[in-house]
């Protein structure tokens, strides 16, 4: 009986030791976290020039850079560089001034080149596969005259096939355009929003100001 009692106490102590992390275990875990963080920072810093914007979706991270021959770098979330893309320049399929960068969905990345006034759609599958044919479509938003104050400085995807453009006008207008680059409406902040747009009940965010249209 005495032996049985000693055995029970021994196993209870053993189980408590396994369930409760010791001071040593906590230190080891903390050291591992520091090591992982350091490795991630090392991977990113070795592969980047001067980061300007970062977006992420799923297991990938895209960083827009100021330095280097390409505007963008594609990473895994663990910091592994997969590729650089978006060659800088004014030639075919090159990008001059990317002022907008966002995901339309899991398969498509959107970049708006404000100088050339093109909306460039990239295939995420092609980028991840390493293909050089990763531009799936280029939409022309250059129908307006270069001096027109309502041409777009940046674009944001609002909903299927509709984009919101921040106009270069100092008054802060927003333009609604379809995917063909045709301007549907110009919204001027000081005035009330048209009734037909209010009924769509869609919120515009992440621009200079917010409107419900």
Write down the mean pLDDT value for the chain: 73
Query: What pLDDT score was predicted for residue 48?
Result: 61
* pLDDT greater at residue 205 or residue 67: 67
**Coil, helix or strand for 178?**
strand
Are 149 and 135 in contact by the 8 Å Cβ rule? The answer is no
* Lookup: tokens for 114: 């404000």
Instruction: Convert the pLDDT of each residue in 17-28 to its tens digit.
Output: 444 455 556 555
Strand residues in 13-169 grouped as ranges (E): 51-57, 60-65, 70-76, 81-87, 98-103, 108-113, 118-123, 135-140, 152-159, 162-167
Instruction: Please tell me the pTM assigned to this model.
Output: 0.64
d(CA 210, CA 213): 10
Best CA proximity match to 150, nearest among 162, 135, 166: 166
- The mean-pLDDT minimum among 43-52, 69-78, 144-153 falls in 43-52
pLDDT at 211 over 80: no
Q: What band does 6 get if pLDDT is binned at 50, 70 and 90?
A: very low
In this structure, what is the dihedral angle of CA atoms 120, 124, 129, 135, given to the nearest 10 degrees? -10
Percent of the chain with pLDDT over 70: 62
Q: How far is CA 203 from the centre of its chain?
A: 19
pLDDT at 3 over 50: no
Are 86 and 95 in contact by the 8 Å Cβ rule? The answer is yes
Mean pLDDT of 161-184: 81
Query: What pLDDT score was predicted for residue 110?
Result: 94
* Lookup: tokens for 190: 């000081």
């Amino acid at each position: 009986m005495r032996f049985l009692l000693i055995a029970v106490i021994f196993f209870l102590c053993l189980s408590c030791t396994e369930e409760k992390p010791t001071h040593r275990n906590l230190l080891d875990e903390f050291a591992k976290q520091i090591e992982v963080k350091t490795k991630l920072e090392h991977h990113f810093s070795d592969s980047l020039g001067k980061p300007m914007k970062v977006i992420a979706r799923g297991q990938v991270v895209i960083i827009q850079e100021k330095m280097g021959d390409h505007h963008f770098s594609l990473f895994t979330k663990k910091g592994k560089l997969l590729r650089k893309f978006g060659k800088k320049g004014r030639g075919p399929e090159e990008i001059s001034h990317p002022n907008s960068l966002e995901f339309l969905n899991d398969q498509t990345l959107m970049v708006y080149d404000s100088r050339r006034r093109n909306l460039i759609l990239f295939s995420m599958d092609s980028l991840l596969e390493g293909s050089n044919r990763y531009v799936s479509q280029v939409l022309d938003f250059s129908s307006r005259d270069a001096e027109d104050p309502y041409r777009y400085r940046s674009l944001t995807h609002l909903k299927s096939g509709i984009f919101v453009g921040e106009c270069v006008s100092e008054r802060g207008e927003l333009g609604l355009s379809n995917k063909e680059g045709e301007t549907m409406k110009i919204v001027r902040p000081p005035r009330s929003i048209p009734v037909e747009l209010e009924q769509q009940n869609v919120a515009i965010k992440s621009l200079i100001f917010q409107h419900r249209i």
